[in-house]
Amino acid sequence: MGMNGGSAKSRVALSEINVTPLVDVMLVLLIMFMVTAPLMQQGIEVDLPKTSPSGVDLNDEPFVLVIEANGKIMAAKTPMEVSSIKEKLKAIFETRKNKQIYIQADRKVDYGIVAEVMAEVRAAGIFNIGLITIPKDN
């Protein structure tokens, strides 16, 4: 007589799947993705242009700010200072329907000057800013 109380034929192997380790792994993965997902949403804000098949509306002439190699800023052949860009652009774009501006900077201009001009343009309430470049020859 054995201690287990049953016969030798009554022993059957359990064939159930233990899901506890699977649930533990899934919860750890869920927590990892919840923590890392907000970190992956950082980046550079880029306002991509939306094009239409009709082309560009030529009723309003585009407003171009030119930054020369010596750092001089010109708007329609009129010299401007960085400190006065915000007020002048607010006055100019108050009545304009097309609130878009293009910046044409010389290759030799320091990046800091271009960034400063762009910050002043954004401070004036103009958020559609384009940079004029020359296409690269292949």
Band of the pLDDT at 40, cuts 50, 70, 90?
Answer: low
Domain spans, the chain: 14-40, 63-131
Joined together, the tokens standing for residue 112 give 């800091």
Q: Which of 124, 50, 47 is nearest to 82 (CA)?
A: 124
Select 63-131's CATH number: 1.20.120.330, 3.30.420.270, 3.30.420.40, 3.90.1410.10.
3.30.420.270
Q: Are 74 and 66 in contact (CB under 8 A)?
A: yes
Summarize pLDDT for 64-112 with one digit per residue, the tens. 898 888 888 988 888 889 889 999 999 888 888 888 899 888 888 888 9
Question: What pTM was computed for the model?
Answer: 0.54
3-class SS at 65? Answer: strand
Residue 131 bridge partners (DSSP): 103
Q: How is residue 95 annotated by DSSP?
A: S
Number of helices followed by number of strands (H, E) in the chain: 3, 5
The amino acid at 20: T
Band of the pLDDT at 18, cuts 50, 70, 90?
Answer: confident
